[in-house]
Amino acid sequence: VQGRIPILSNIFRGNALMRSGQPLVGLTQKRCVQDEKLIEAMKEAASTSEEAKKHSLVIVDARPSSSAFANTLIGAGIERLECYEDSERIYLNLENIHTIRESHDRLSQQIKLISRSDGNNRALWIELEEGCAWLDHLRGILEGVGRILEALLQNNTHVLVHCSDGWDRTIQLVSLVQLCLFPRYRT
C-alpha cells in the first residue's frame, strides 16, 4: 500500500530474508508478476548452490489473518501462493501500530501512577500486568522472531516478512532476526 516492494534484507546460509509491504491484489486476486520475479531473483541470488535454489519460501504475514483478508477490500491483501513455487504462509497475529501505541500509553500512565505511590501499591502492579497488554505484544513479536528463525535455520527456507505497510512490525521482526543470526550486530 505504501509502495514498499520486496527487498533483500539479508542472506543467511544461502537463504534470503526479505521484507515488503502487503501485495496489492485486491478482491480480484490480481497478480504482480514483477514482484514474483523479484522474489525469485532474490532467492536465486541468495542461494549458494543449485540445490539451495530449490528451497521453499515461507511468507510470514505479521497481521492477523482477518486483517489481511479485510485489506482485500481496499485493493491489497495476501499473495496467491500458487504464484510462488513451493511456498507457505504463516500469520503471526500481531496487532497494528495504533493498538501498540495505545498499549504503550496505558503502560506509561500505569508506571506514573505506581511511581507516585512509591511502588508499594500491589493493586496498581496487577492492573499494570492485566490492563495494558504490553508484555503480550512483546511476547508476540519474540514468538514471531522465533518462527522466522526456525524457518531459516531448521527448515532451511527463504523467508519473506510483511504486514500491511511494511514499516512497523516488519522492521521489528527482521531487525531482531538479524540480531539473533549475526553476533556482530549485538556489540
What are the catalytic residues?
A: 163
Q: Which cell goes with 18? A: 526479505
State the amino acid at position 33 in one-letter form: V
Q: Among 131, 65, 130, which Cα is nearest to 94's?
A: 65
Q: How far is CA 126 from CA 100, 103, 109, 136, 150, in A?
A: 20, 15, 14, 14, 34
CA distance linking residue 20 with residue 92, whole number of Å: 15
**What DSSP string runs through 9-68?**
EEEETTEEEEEE-----TTTT---HHHHHHHHHHHHHH-SSHHHHT--EEEEE-S-HHHH
The label of the residue with cell 500509553 reads: 105
